[in-house]
Chains A and B, each alone.
Chain A
Amino acid sequence: MEISDNSLIEAHNLGDSDAFRQIVRRHGPALLGYIIRMSGSREKAEDYFQQTFMKAYEKANTFRQGNFKSWLFTIATNVVMDGFRRQKRQLALSLNEMIETGNSDGEEFGAVVTADNSNNPFEKAAEAELAEKLRDIIVSLPEGQRAALVLSYYQQMTYSQVAKVLGCSIGTVKKQMYRALKRLADKLPEQRKIL
Chain B
Amino acid sequence: MKKNHLTEKDLIEYQFKLASQEQIAEAAEHLKECEKCRQLNERLAAKFSSLELLREEPQLSEELVSRVLESIKTSRQTKLKLKTFKIPAWIGAAAAVLLVTSLLVVSEIKEQRKSKLTEGLRIKQPQVTEKYAYSGREITTERASEISGDSKELGRVFTVGDRIVSSKEPKKPPFAPASAIELVTLPRRENVQTTIYNSADLTLVRERRNLTLKRGWNWLQFMWANTLIDPTSLNLEPLEEKGKIEIEQLVFPPRLKEVGRWLIHSEVEGQVPFEITYFTSGLSWRAFYMGTLTEDEKTMRLEGYVRVTNNSGEDYENAQTRLIVGKVHLLDQIADLARRQWPYGWPGEFLPLSSNEKGEIDKMRGFVAQQYYSLSILGDELSQKVITKEGLSEYFLYTIEGTETIETGWSKRLISFTADDVPVVNLYKYEQQRYGNSVVRFLSFKNDEKHKLGETPIPGGMLKVYRSVDNTGHLSYTGQSAFKYIPIDEEVELNLGPVENVVVEPTLMKFSTENFKFDSKDNIAGWDEVRTYNIEVRNTRDIPVKVEIKRNFASQYWDITKKGDFDSFEKEDLDTVKFTVELEPETKKEFEYTVRTYHGLRQQDWNN
Chain A residues engaging chain B, CB cutoff 8 angstroms: 1-4, 7, 14-15, 20-21, 24-25, 28-30, 32-33, 36-37, 42, 46, 49-50, 53-54, 57, 109-115, 127, 130-131, 134-135, 138, 152-154, 174, 177-178, 181-182, 184-185, 188-195
Contacts and interface: CB of A to CB of B under 8 A. Distances in A.
A178 B56 contact: no
Contact of A131 (B9, B46, B54): B54
A30 B57 contact: yes
A114 B53 contact: yes
Given A32-B57, A54-B75, A57-B72, A7 B50 contact: no
A116 B344 CA distance: 79
Contact of A50 (B43, B53, B68): B68
Interface in B283-326: 288, 305, 307
Given A20-B72, A194-B49, A7 B477 contact: yes
Contacts of B71: 50, 54
B464 interface: yes
Contact of B64 (A3, A46, A109, A177): A46
Interface of B: 8-9, 12-13, 16, 18, 43-60, 64-65, 67-69, 71-72, 75, 288, 305, 307, 413, 464, 476-478, 480
Nearest to A6: B480
Given A24-B69, A28-B65, A127 B48 contact: no
A80 to B, nearest CB: 15
Contacts of B65: 21, 24-25, 28
Main secondary structure of the interface of B (DSSP, over half): helix
B57 A29 contact: yes
B60 A181 contact: no
B49 A177 contact: no
Nearest to A45: B58
Given A7-B464, A185-B44, A111 B55 contact: yes
Given A24-B69, A181-B12, A190 B43 contact: yes
Contacts of A184: 47-48, 51
B69 A185 contact: no
B60 A154 contact: no
Given A153-B51, A181-B48, A188-B50, A29 B59 contact: yes
Contacts of B67: 46, 50
30 contacts: A1-B478, A2-B477, A3-B477, A4-B477, A7-B480, A14-B307, A21-B65, A24-B69, A25-B65, A32-B60, A33-B57, A36-B58, A37-B54, A50-B68, A54-B71, A111-B58, A112-B58, A113-B53, A114-B52, A134-B54, A152-B16, A178-B13, A181-B12, A182-B12, A184-B51, A185-B48, A188-B50, A192-B47, A192-B49, A193-B49
A49 B75 CA distance: 15
Nearest to B42: A194
Contacts of B53: 111, 113-115, 127, 130-131, 134, 195
Nearest to B412: A15
Contacts of A113: 53-54
A53 B12 contact: no
A184 B47 CA distance: 8
Nearest to B47: A188
B469 to A, nearest CB: 10
Contacts of A57: 72
Nearest to A150: B54
A110 B476 CA distance: 35
Nearest to A173: B18
A158 to B, nearest CB: 10
B60 A112 contact: no
A14 B288 contact: yes
A44 to B, nearest CB: 13
Nearest to A51: B71
Contacts of A153: 51
Contacts of A21: 65, 69
Contacts of B476: 1
Contacts of A193: 46, 49
A131 B49 CA distance: 11
B122 to A, nearest CB: 66
Nearest to A52: B68
A136 to B, nearest CB: 11
A174 B346 CA distance: 58
3 closest A-B pairs (Cβ-Cβ)? A110-B58, A33-B57, A131-B53
A195 B57 contact: no
B229 to A, nearest CB: 24
A185 B41 CA distance: 11
B165 to A, nearest CB: 51
Contacts of A115: 52-53
Contacts of B16: 152, 177-178, 181
Contacts of B413: 14-15
B43 A29 contact: no
B12 A178 contact: yes
Contacts of A53: 68, 72
Nearest to B475: A3
A191 B50 CA distance: 10
A175 to B, nearest CB: 8
Nearest to B71: A50
A177 B19 CA distance: 12
Contacts of A178: 9, 12-13, 16, 18
Contacts of B57: 29-30, 32-33, 111
A108 B48 CA distance: 22
Nearest to B309: A61
B307 A191 contact: no
Given A14-B413, A28-B65, 20 more contacts: A1-B477, A21-B69, A32-B57, A32-B58, A42-B58, A46-B64, A50-B64, A50-B67, A50-B71, A54-B71, A54-B75, A57-B72, A110-B58, A111-B58, A115-B52, A177-B18, A178-B18, A184-B51, A189-B47, A193-B46
Contacts of B51: 134, 153, 184
A112 B50 contact: no
A170 B45 CA distance: 24
A123 B66 CA distance: 38
A64 to B, nearest CB: 14
A2 B475 CA distance: 11
Contact of A154 (B13, B43, B50, B54): B54
